Chain A
Amino acid sequence: MEHFDVIVIGLGPAGLAACKVLAEKKISVLGLDRKQEIGPPKRCAEGLGIAWFRRLKIKPNPEFAVHKIYGAVLFSPNGKSVTLKSKKLQGYILERKIFEKHLAISAAAKGAKITAKTDVLEAKRENGKILLTANQGGETKHFSCSLVIAADGIDSMIARELGLNTSNKLVDVDSGYQYEMTNIEGYDEKLLNLYFGTDVAPRGYLWVFPKRKNTANVGIGIGGTQKETAKFYLDKFIASKPGLAKGSIIEVNAGVIPVGGFLENMTKDNLIAAGDAAHHVDPVHGGGIGIAMEAGMIAAQVASEAVKKKDFSEKFLSKYNKMWYEKRGNELKKKVRIRHLLENLSNEDFDYLAESLSIDDVLKIASADLDKKARLAILGKKMLQRPGLAKIMLKYI
């Protein structure tokens, strides 16, 4: 049976970032993914802000950073819009299947062993190690390791098998559906186009993320307890927009997004969870590529210290919780309240805000940097004219 210091299960952004850092630190690491190909199918709208490229030291290689984005335009239900546009580059739309291939290749180049089409079926602890049984293209394989990094997505089974409950509550997830469409028009190609309203996307939003000329990810995320499916709302919206309805569908994507229920503890003996498996997603916009990669890197940092100290106890590994919350988690937790606020706005509230708020106001409120008093000061005058809205604002801001 092959033994590795660390086995990373699930090779999305979190898992691949962990593999690379571990390999750089000369830790023996095996990365396993159940899919036939690292990357697809994406469960993602592929947007990544420019700040993440800096933080994660990723060069925006045009092979995977395929489209430049300069801001966003937000549409309220009655068609009014607020445009947040900058002259400076704000981010890129990625081609995830190429992005992940690049991450895998660079992790392998540093010395990580990467293996696709290997579905881990069972994980158990034995004498301070983890024994894994996997199906590798029809063959049963066994591996052992001192530490597992579970980066196997929202449907993570490995963490749960090793005693960490990563299940999501329905109220803490969004149901997502998306088409990559081509030969479409009627949206701003330099901006993220976001559509709000209880008829368009109940307790969520609908997006058109331009990816190439006349080509975009057209998708939706809605609260997890709606009467109709995400697909129903997306199809309805597309049918109502001639510029989209005439288009062709070149990819179908689905996914469930953990947008709220952060885990206080993301470790057990011999186990660290990262990425969607650990609910590492921004609660307001539902994005998680950068957050997942950062968490994977922190997991790898703690894992390498554990290997050096030969201590794989939950007690030692729990420093990962502290490090992640200090670096990112505390900031994201604050944003959960903003998500609850957005979820509780009516169509009329959205229309009113779109008509009365300035760009600066929106940016300040959305930044999560302001305290309650400062937020209320911005909204104060406007709220006086809509008492219902004032009540919701007071509750969540």
Chain B
Amino acid sequence: MGVRNNWKKCAYCGGCVGVCPVQALRLNETRLFVDNAKCINCNACVLICPVGANELAPDLKE
């Protein structure tokens, strides 16, 4: 399970971090970090993203 973040689209607003129910996401000033080991593929970060920068990537390894 996991989430792929397209950093070219990402606006680094942190919205996805705010809706992640399992704290799998973390933002610093210039990068979104995804902890795929925690991700439960709930799709919240994909739905909320204002610019469509996140997509589910079930093929990602932990």
Residues of chain B contacted by A232 (CB below 8 angstroms):
52
B49 contacts partner chain A, Cβ-Cβ < 8 Å: yes
Residues of chain B contacted by A156 (CB below 8 angstroms):
18
Min CB–CB distance B28 → chain A (angstroms): 5
| Contacting pair B18 A230 (CB below 8 A) | no
Known: A119-B29, A157-B23. A254 touches B51 (CB 8 A): yes
Band of interface residues on B: 20 to 34
| Contacting pair A170 B44 (CB below 8 A) | yes
Q: What separation, in Å, do the CA atoms of A276 and B14 have in the docked complex?
A: 11
A169 contacts partner chain B, Cβ-Cβ < 8 Å: yes
Known: A170-B44, A175-B50, A177-B50. A256 touches B29 (CB 8 A): no
Closest to B15 in A: A256
| Contacting pair B11 A252 (CB below 8 A) | yes
| Contacting pair B28 A34 (CB below 8 A) | yes
Point out which of A155, A168, A169, A170 has the most chain B C-beta atoms below 10 A from its C-beta: A155
Chain B stretch 13-38: residues in CB contact (< 8 A) with chain A: 13-21, 23, 25-29
Residues of chain A contacted by B57 (CB below 8 angstroms):
none
| Contacting pair A154 B14 (CB below 8 A) | yes
Q: What separation, in Å, do the CA atoms of A255 and B13 have in the docked complex?
A: 5
Residues of chain A contacted by B12 (CB below 8 angstroms):
41
Point out which of A154, A224, A225 has the most chain B C-beta atoms below 10 A from its C-beta: A154
A319 contacts partner chain B, Cβ-Cβ < 8 Å: no
Known: A34-B28, A155-B14, A170-B44. A224 touches B19 (CB 8 A): yes
| Contacting pair A224 B48 (CB below 8 A) | yes
Q: In the complex, how many residue pairs between chain A and chain B have their CB atoms under 8 Å apart?
A: 92
Q: What separation, in Å, do the CA atoms of A170 and B26 have in the docked complex?
A: 18
Band of interface residues on A: 35 or more
| Contacting pair A155 B17 (CB below 8 A) | yes
Known: A253-B11, A254-B50. A167 touches B28 (CB 8 A): no
A113 contacts partner chain B, Cβ-Cβ < 8 Å: no
| Contacting pair B15 A175 (CB below 8 A) | yes
B47 contacts partner chain A, Cβ-Cβ < 8 Å: yes
Q: What separation, in Å, do the CA atoms of A226 and B12 have in the docked complex?
A: 20
Q: What separation, in Å, do the CA atoms of A117 and B28 have in the docked complex?
A: 10
Q: What separation, in Å, do the CA atoms of A276 and B15 have in the docked complex?
A: 11
Residues of chain A contacted by B19 (CB below 8 angstroms):
167-170, 173, 224, 256
- Mask, B38-61, CB within 8 Å of A = 1, is 000000100111111000000000
Residue in B11, B15, B21, B52 whose beta carbon sits within 8 Å of that of A173 in the complex = B15
Known: A34-B29, A36-B29. A155 touches B15 (CB 8 A): yes
Min CB–CB distance A137 → chain B (angstroms): 11
Chain A stretch 127-178: residues in CB contact (< 8 A) with chain B: 135, 153-157, 160, 166-170, 173, 175-177
Residue in B13, B21, B26 whose beta carbon sits within 8 Å of that of A167 in the complex = B21
| Contacting pair B47 A256 (CB below 8 A) | no
| Contacting pair A170 B14 (CB below 8 A) | no
Residues of chain A contacted by B28 (CB below 8 angstroms):
34, 119, 135
Closest to B9 in A: A231
A35 contacts partner chain B, Cβ-Cβ < 8 Å: yes
Min CB–CB distance A157 → chain B (angstroms): 6
Q: What separation, in Å, do the CA atoms of A253 and B50 have in the docked complex?
A: 10
Q: What separation, in Å, do the CA atoms of A173 and B16 have in the docked complex?
A: 11
Point out which of B17, B20, B29, B50 has the most chain A C-beta atoms below 10 A from its C-beta: B50
Min CB–CB distance A258 → chain B (angstroms): 7
Closest to B19 in A: A168
What are 12 of the A-B contact pairs (CB < 8 Å)?
A36-B29, A153-B18, A154-B15, A155-B25, A168-B18, A173-B18, A175-B49, A229-B50, A229-B51, A255-B15, A256-B48, A256-B50
Cβ-closest 6 pairs across A and B: A256-B15, A155-B14, A155-B17, A254-B11, A154-B18, A230-B50
